[in-house]
A and B are shown apart, each in its own frame.
Chain A
Amino acid sequence: MNHANFPAAIEARGVSHRYGKVAALQDIDLRIERGAITALLGPNGAGKTTFVNLVLGRDRPDSGTITTLGAAPGSAAARAGSGVMLQSAALAAQLTVREHLRLFAGYYPASLPVAELLEMVGLEQQAQRRYGSLSGGQQRRVQFALALSGQPPLLVLDEPTVALDAESRRLTWAAIRARADAGAAVLLTTHLLEEAEALADRVVLLAGGRIIADAAPHAIKARVAEQRISCRSSLGLAEIGRLPAVIAASETEGRWLVRTTRAQRTLAAWLAKDPDLKDLEIARASLEEALEQLLQREAA
């Protein structure tokens, strides 16, 4: 399918949304194009699901405008072109996997055959089982199959691989990639940097309801690739601060905690000055810590 003439799959301009006193999204400008996978990445509470809800028309922005496939979010035109997988969704427990797929495929004019869908999500063996008897991961895969069933030009997937084992995750990734290669726009949310890295063409980093980075995954990774060195050393703060690649250093109870962008370089220089360095530990900063770091940089 060629989507070259489409307006932007999703276009958000100056979108803000509050839940009570909490500003869930603040002044978001975002254009999602076809033929690419865009990952909304961020810690819990960053505003990812809020944005998805606005894109789907489940909530309306307090200010700003948003269009989905050139139409109002949640309108019949937008729904006809969207395949959706929500974080907190369920299907009727009493119907079988096949019955669910057949029912949903019937909603779309150009739906995939049920057998093909079953294969794409690896549920051929479970086709006759009732939804209620499936494991959590299998249920998620049925929901994913429903999102794919109409070959929609827009896929909106809220944390699609939560509760999936490694094999199902690979299958899911492959199916998402195939949709994007076929020209669909894919918007997915994830709190896993690895998932964004493995899958996305573009990563939009959200924190505190704001976009703090919008770039290709490798560029994002470089920005958040911070490591922590923890050890005991006889060097003083001034000397440690001058080591290469060091961002910050602090000491508690005789133990140094040093943040660095390149642990090898920092350590090589450190060991040259203090060969008696002890109790060494190196850890990669968590996404949350890295985001905090990015946010502080933004604020500065």
Chain B
Amino acid sequence: MNTTDILTNSTQAGTAVSPRLAIYCREIHAEILRALRTPAFLVPTLAMPLAFYTLFALLLAPPGSDAGIYVLATYGVLAALGPSLFGFGAGIAADRDAGILGLKRLSPLPPGAFLIARLASAALFTFIVLLGLDALAVGGAGVRLPVQTWLSLLAVHLLSVIPFCLLGLCIGLRTGASAAMALTNVLFIGLAVLGGLWMPVSMFPPALQQVALALPTYHLSALALQIVGHGIGGSAWVHELFVLGYVLLFGGFAWRAWVARTH
């Protein structure tokens, strides 16, 4: 066997599609197993949005209010924020510190597979929380929406995973494990509260309202609220443009960090 043999062998394996796909699937499976076996990650990220929905939409909502719909739209963004930020920010920083990422990057694993697996894991757990939120909304708060609306809402919430994961990746690749954990916590709370996921931005003092305009959580929840007929101002395309900007910004920083970090 010579070098070109190795190359052709692996390319042949690649062109058969299934072996390469199998690598991605196994990596995703392993990543999900890891998350499932880490209660410290699982419980807060999964339980928190559901607990808050129960509290604010079911128990504390004044009778006849449409808090059930409003909070569904904003907590769906929260459902994406948790697994994405913690999985990528604190999670990747910890993997890097321990040398787990270093070993992966020396293996023949395609470089993107590690990140795709993480992304898939974050998306899956987000999806599970979204299903829970939907169940609470329909069963508990009596929310009724057209199927088209449900699907659009689901799409916005699931796609929120992408900018949040990229933001997490910036942290995970740039900071040490303990600093990343602290920073992730601060960002999680900060983005959730200041972005208007807990209470409407219109209730903020004017200065904080300006801050909200700069946050991805604000624009994503604005899109979600618009879908359920509770728009908080601004055209959809402006919010979409902001979200795209965040994807490019965080993606660019993450890419630079990924290339610079080889250990």
Contacts and interface: CB of A to CB of B under 8 A. Distances in A.
A7 interface: yes
A2 interface: yes
A95 B30 contact: yes
A35 interface: no
Contacts of B262: 57-59, 74
A69 B34 contact: no
B128 interface: no
A89 B102 contact: yes
B146 interface: no
Contact of A91 (B3, B9, B100, B110): B100
A193 to B, nearest CB: 27
Contact of A84 (B23, B33, B95, B103): B103
Given A94-B33, A107-B107, A58 B3 contact: no
Given A57-B262, A70-B3, A71-B3, A103 B9 contact: no
A57 B111 CA distance: 14
Interface string A1-22: 1110111000000000000000
B107 A77 contact: no
Interface in B20-76: 22-23, 26-27, 30, 33-34, 37-38
A80 B10 contact: yes
Interface string B97-125: 01110110011111000000000000000
Contacts of A6: 1-3
B102 A5 contact: no
A94 B34 contact: yes
A81 B6 contact: yes
Contacts of A104: 107
B7 interface: yes
B10 A109 contact: yes
Contact of A3 (B1, B30, B37): B1
Interface residues of B, number: 31
B244 interface: no
A84 B1 contact: no
Contacts of A106: 22-23, 26
A95 B109 CA distance: 17
Interface in B247-263: 262-263
Contacts of A1: 1
Interface of B is mostly: helix
B13 interface: yes
Contact of B98 (A90, A107, A110): A90
Contacts of A88: 99
Given A6-B3, A7-B3, A80-B6, A107 B100 contact: no
Nearest to B38: A94
Contact of B26 (A58, A76, A79, A103): A103
Contacts of B102: 58, 86, 89
Given A77-B7, A80-B6, A81-B3, A103 B27 contact: yes
A58 B103 contact: no
Interface in A73-102: 74, 76-77, 79-82, 84, 86, 88-92, 94-95, 99, 102
A153 interface: yes
A74 B262 CA distance: 9
A42 B136 CA distance: 65
Interface in A239-297: none
A77 B100 contact: no
A276 B134 CA distance: 96
A90 B26 contact: no
Nearest to B12: A109
A217 interface: no
A143 B98 CA distance: 13
Contacts of A150: 108
Contacts of B2: 3, 5-7
5 contacts: A59-B262, A76-B10, A84-B106, A90-B98, A104-B107
Interface of A: 1-3, 5-7, 56-59, 69-71, 74, 76-77, 79-82, 84, 86, 88-92, 94-95, 99, 102-104, 106-110, 130, 143, 146, 150, 153
Given A58-B262, A86-B103, 9 more contacts: A7-B3, A82-B106, A86-B99, A86-B106, A90-B100, A99-B30, A106-B22, A109-B19, A130-B37
Q: 9 closest Cβ contacts across the A-B interface?
A: A94-B37, A90-B98, A89-B99, A70-B3, A107-B108, A94-B34, A80-B108, A89-B103, A5-B2
